[in-house]
Chain A
Amino acid sequence: MTKYIRRAAGLCAVLLVALLVNAARVQVFLASSYDDNVANRRQAIARYEQPRGDILVDGRTVTGSADTGEQLRFERTYTDGPLYAPVTGFASQLYGTTFLENAGDEILSGTDPMLAPLPLWNDVTRTQNPGGKIVTTLNSAAQRAAYDGLAGRRGAVAAVEPATGKILALVSTPSYDPAELSGTGPSATRAWNRLNDAPSKPMLNRAIRQTYPPGSTFKVVTAAAALDAGVVRDLDARTESPDPYRLPGTTTSLTNEVDGCENASVRYAFEWSCNSVFAKLGVDIGLGDMTRAATDFGFNDRKLKIPFSVSPSNFDLTLDRAQLALSSIGQFDTRATPLQMAMISSAVAGGGSVKAPYLVERTTTQGGRTVATTGQRTLHQAMSPATAQQMRELMTDVVREGTGRNAAIPGATVGGKTGTAQHGIGNSGVPYAWFISWAQAEGSLEPAVAVAVVVEDAAADRGEISGGGNAGPIAKAVMKAVLGF
C-alpha cells in the first residue's frame, strides 16, 4: 500500500505545482494585460481615490474636488465653471478629460513621476503622490471682462502678453459648466447628451478650435508683408488702385464700403479698411511673399500647443491671382482662430516677433515645490522691427481716428484693426465681427496686452455688425482689465 500512497502523494504534488504555475501565469505574465482591460475598474478607482490637483488663476484655485464617498471617490468641482471651461476643460469619470485637465492630467492626478520627492520614491513606498497644481498665466479680470463682454453671444476672445506669449484670457461663449460632467450618475449622461446636441455647441472652444474668415483684420498681415517686401515704401504715397478693383482674370469687381479708396495711401486704406487697395496689394506682393508672411505669423502651423493643441489657421499655398487678391483681405479660404489673430496683433505690438503662446506658467507639487516652468519661446520674426514700428502707427491711427475709435483708452496707446468677415454660400451668412488690438500704458516700456475678439452674432441686424461696433468694446474692456485702468 505504501507504494500507492506515495503515488497518490505524487498526484497531490502535481496538483500543487499546477496551482503554483497557473498563479504565476495569472499574477505575473498576464497581469499587465488584465490590469489594462477596459472592464477592470482598478485604474479608475486608483485615479479617483485622492483629490485631484487644482488649477490656479491669479493665485486662486478655480477647481476643487468633492468627496462623494462612492467607489470612484473624488469628483471634480469648479468654482467658475463656465468662465474657465475653455481653459480647464472637463475631468469626467465617464467621458475622460479635455484641455488643461487633459494636458496636465499626470500632474493633476499625481501620476507624474516628477512629483515624487526622490526618483523611484513611489516605486519603493508604493504610494501615490497627491495631485500637483497647475498655475496658469490667465488674468482673472481680463477673463471676466471678456466673458461679460460677450454676454452669451456666440464668439470668442483670446488675449496674450506680447513680450512673453503668456495667454491672459481665453474665452468662448456660450459656455457650459464642466462640473455637470464630473460624476458617473445619470445627470452626467443627460448633461453630456444635452451639451452635444445643443445647436450653439457650448463645448466647442471657439478661441482655439474654431477658425473664422478673418476679414479685414488680415490686412495687418498684408500691410506688413508689403512693407517688408518693399512693395510699399511710403505709407502716405498714393497707390495705383482702382475703385472698384476688378479681380485679375475675372469679371468680378471688388467694391468698398467707404469713399476715397481710389488710389488711396496705405495709411488711409488701412484706417478706413479699403478692400480694393489691399486686394491689389496682395497681388502685387505675390504669392510667395504673402504665404511666407502668413506662415511666419503662425498660419498653417499644425503643431502649436498651449499645451493643448490649437487648430491650424489656414492660408492657401497655391492660389491664382484672383484668389490671392481675396485671400489678402481675409476672405476666400483664409481662416484663423481668435488666438491666431491675437498673435498677429501681439507681433505688431512686440516689435515683429511672434511668441509661442502658452497657458501654463508652471506646475508644482501640492506643497508648492515647482516641478516645471514654461519658458518663453519665439516662433518667428514675422517682420522687421522697422516694419513693426510702421504697423504700430497704422493700427494706432485706426483707433485714434478710423474704424476702431470705440476701443480708445485714455492714458494708453492703443492700436487696433476692425474686420467684418463675409461667409457662407454667396456670402449669405450673417458676417462675423472681428476686432484685434493691443494696448501699452503711457510711460510703460512694453505693450501689456494684445487681444482678438470675434462675435458671430446671428441675432443682430446686418447693418449693426461691424468689428468696431460689436467687438471693439469687448476688446477695450479686456485691455483695460489687463492695464488695471
Chain B
Amino acid sequence: MIQPGLPGTTVVADPPTPAVRLPRRRGIEFTLIVVAVLLCVCGYCAVGLARHGTVPPGAAGYGAGLGVLALLAHVAVRFRAPYADPLLLPIAVLLNGLGLILIYRLDLDTPADQAAPIQLIWSTLGVAFFIAAVLFLRDHRVLQRYTYVSVVAALGLLTLPIFFPAVNGARIWIRIAGFSIQPGEFAKVLLAVFFAGYLAANRNALAYAGRRIWRFERLQLPAGRVLGPIVAIWLLSVGVLVLERDLGTSLLFFGLFVILLYVATGRTGWIAVGLLLACAGAMAVGRLEPHVHGRVQDWMHPFASIEAGQGPNQLAQSLFSFAAGGVTGTGLGLGHSILIGFAAKSDFILATAGEELGLAGLSAIFLLYALLVERGYRAGLALRDPFGRLLAIGLASIVALQVFVIAGGVTGLIPLTGMAMPFLAQGGSSVVTNWIIVALLIRISDVARSQYDGTAAP
C-alpha cells in the first residue's frame, strides 16, 4: 500500500537502476506478431476460398500491408519501449486484422457499400498514432500535468456533435470532408487521463472524509463536499445520454468513473452511491426517453416484433446469427449475418464472428480481449505511481466495459446500446482510439517492467 498522505500529484522520480532486470521479450513479441499476421492472411484467404473458390487476389497485398504496419509498430516499441509487455501489440494486430477480414467479408454481401478499404486507411492512421505515441511520449507521468486540460478537451469533444445533425437517432458523429468522426471515442482516453489525475490527487480526501452510517466502517458515506465531482460526472453521463442519445457512452463513462473511484479510495460506499445514481438515472431516462425504453423492451422480448408480424428486428437477427454459428461456426464467408442489415459491420460485427467462427471462435476473441485487459491490469499492479496505476486500470477498464456492453448487448445479455467492438468494428475514430489506448498501455508497461527490482509491486 502506498502510504496515506503521500502527495499523489508529484511526479515520482525514476528509481535507481534495479539490480535485477526483467528480460525484454521483444523476440517473443515479434514471433507473436508474425503468428498474428499469418492467422489474418489465412482468414482472408479462407473468405476468398469459401466465396469464390480461389485465394483472393489481394491476399498478398493485405498480408504485406498488415505485416508492414505491425513491423513498424514493433520497431517503434523495440527502440522506445524495450521492456513493454510483449502480448499487447500482437493482440492488437490480431484483433485489428480479424476486424478487417470480417468487414471485407461483409463487403462481399453489400456491393454498394465497401467499408474495408476505408477501415484499412483508419487502421493505418491508428498505427501511425500508436507509433507517434510510443516515440514521443517518453513517460506516461507527463500526462498528469494535463489533468484539467484533458477534461476540458473531453467535454469539448463530447459537446461538438450536438451542433451537427443526428444520424440514425444518435447525435454522436461529426462529418468533415466526407469522413465521419465520433469525437466521443477520443474523449474516452482524455477522460481516463482526467479521472486518473484527479483521483490520484484527491483520493485521500475522498477516502477519509465521510461519516459512518449504521456504525459500520465499510458503509461510510462520503462527505457532501467531495460528492460534488461524482455528481458532476453523473450529470455529464446523463447529459450525454439525453443530448446525444448515446446510452453506451454514458454507461461507459459512469462505469469507468465508479471503478477508478473504488480502486483509488477502496470505499464500497462509492460503489453504493454510484449504483444508486446509475439506477436512478437509468430509470428516469428509461421512462422519459422512448429510444432507451424501446431498447429495454427489445431486450426483454427480442422476438416481439416477429409475433407482431413485423419480422425480426436487429437484435433477433443478431441472435439468429449467433445460433446459426453453433459451436464450430459456418466458416468464414459462409454465414448470413448480413441479414442484420444496418450496422452489421459496426455495432453487430460480433454476430458475424459468432456465426462464422462459432462459439469456439467467439470465446477465443473474448479471451483475447480478456488477455489485453489482464495485461493492462498487470501493468497497473506493477507500477508504483498512483497516476500510472489508475491510468492503466482506467484504459484496461475502458476496453473491458466496452466489450461487455456491446457483446452483452448483441447476445441479449443486457439491453443493446450502440457501441463499437474495440478493433473489430467498422469505425475510424474507434480504431484510432484503441490504438492510442494500446500505445499508452505499452508505455505504462514499459515503465512498470523496467522499474522492476525483483520485489513484488507495492
Contact = CB atoms under 8 A, between A and B. Distances in A.
Chains A and B form a bound pair: yes
A1 B266 contact: yes
A376 to B, nearest CB: 44
Contacts of B403: 19
Contacts of A45: 336
Contacts of A13: 370
B306 interface: yes
Contacts of B359: 23-24, 27-28
Interface in A1-55: 1-9, 11-13, 15-16, 18-20, 22-24, 26-28, 30-35, 37-42, 45
Contacts of B122: none
B131 interface: no
Given A4-B263, A5-B380, A15-B400, A40 B413 contact: no
B323 A23 contact: no
A32 B264 CA distance: 47
Interface size class for chain B? 35 or more
Contacts of A20: 363, 366
B366 A16 contact: yes
B274 to A, nearest CB: 13
A95 to B, nearest CB: 18
A37 B312 CA distance: 10
Given A28-B327, A34-B320, A1 B263 contact: yes
A8 B411 contact: no
Contacts of B303: 37, 39
A33 to B, nearest CB: 8
B453 interface: no
A9 B316 contact: no
Interface size class for chain A? 35 or more
Interface string B308-320: 0001100010011
B458 interface: yes
Contacts of B264: 1, 4
B326 A2 contact: no
A40 B313 CA distance: 11
A23 B306 contact: no
A15 B370 CA distance: 10
A41 B327 contact: no
A28 B262 CA distance: 37
Contact of B323 (A2, A8, A34): A34
B326 A28 contact: yes
Given A26-B411, A37-B303, A8 B259 contact: yes
A8 B262 contact: yes
A32 B322 CA distance: 11
A23 B354 CA distance: 9
Interface string B334-358: 0010010000000000000010001
The winner among B377, B380, B413, B458 for most chain A CB atoms within 10 A is B413
A11 B386 CA distance: 20
Contact of A2 (B339, B413, B458): B458
B322 A27 contact: yes
B320 A40 contact: yes
Nearest to B400: A12
The winner among A27, A34, A42, A45 for most chain B CB atoms within 10 A is A27
Contact of B320 (A3, A42, A126): A42
A31 B326 contact: yes
A258 to B, nearest CB: 63
Q: Classify the secondary structure of A's interface with B.
A: helix
Contact of B336 (A6, A15, A41): A41
Contacts of B397: 8, 12
Nearest to A16: B370
The winner among A12, A34, A39 for most chain B CB atoms within 10 A is A12
B386 A23 contact: no
Nearest to B310: A39
Interface in B357-408: 358-359, 362-363, 366, 370, 373-374, 377, 380-381, 386, 389, 393, 396-397, 400, 403-404, 407-408
A411 to B, nearest CB: 58
A210 B23 CA distance: 88
B112 interface: no
Given A1-B1, A12-B373, A27-B322, A22 B312 contact: no
A39 B259 contact: no
A27 B357 CA distance: 11
B354 to A, nearest CB: 7
Contacts of A26: 319, 322-323, 411-412
Given A8-B393, A39-B316, A41-B336, A23 B324 contact: no
Given A5-B380, A45-B336, A23 B327 contact: no
A158 to B, nearest CB: 42
B457 interface: yes
Interface in B140-162: none
A22 B366 CA distance: 12
Contact of B362 (A23, A31, A32, A35): A23
B2 interface: yes
B323 A27 contact: yes
A196 B312 CA distance: 29
B306 A38 contact: yes
Contacts of B393: 5, 8
A16 B393 CA distance: 16
Contacts of A2: 1, 381, 457-458
B380 A4 contact: no
Given A19-B407, A42-B320, A5 B377 contact: yes
B48 interface: no
Contacts of A15: 400, 404
Interface string A140-170: 0000000000000000000000000000000
Contacts of A22: 408, 411-413
B404 A27 contact: no
B305 to A, nearest CB: 9
A1 B380 CA distance: 10
B184 interface: no
B143 to A, nearest CB: 19
A37 B326 CA distance: 15
A18 to B, nearest CB: 6
A23 B326 contact: no
B363 A4 contact: no
B248 interface: no
Contacts of A38: 306
A483 to B, nearest CB: 51
B325 interface: yes
Nearest to A2: B381
Contacts of B373: 12
Interface of A: 1-9, 11-13, 15-16, 18-20, 22-24, 26-28, 30-35, 37-42, 45, 126
9 contacts: A1-B1, A5-B263, A5-B393, A8-B262, A19-B408, A20-B363, A39-B306, A42-B339, A126-B330
Given A5-B380, A11-B259, A13-B370, 16 more contacts: A1-B1, A1-B2, A4-B262, A4-B264, A6-B381, A8-B393, A12-B396, A15-B404, A19-B407, A23-B354, A24-B359, A27-B354, A37-B312, A37-B316, A41-B336, A126-B331
The 6 A-B residue pairs with the shortest CB-CB distance in the complex, in nearest-first order: A34-B323, A31-B323, A39-B306, A27-B359, A22-B413, A39-B312
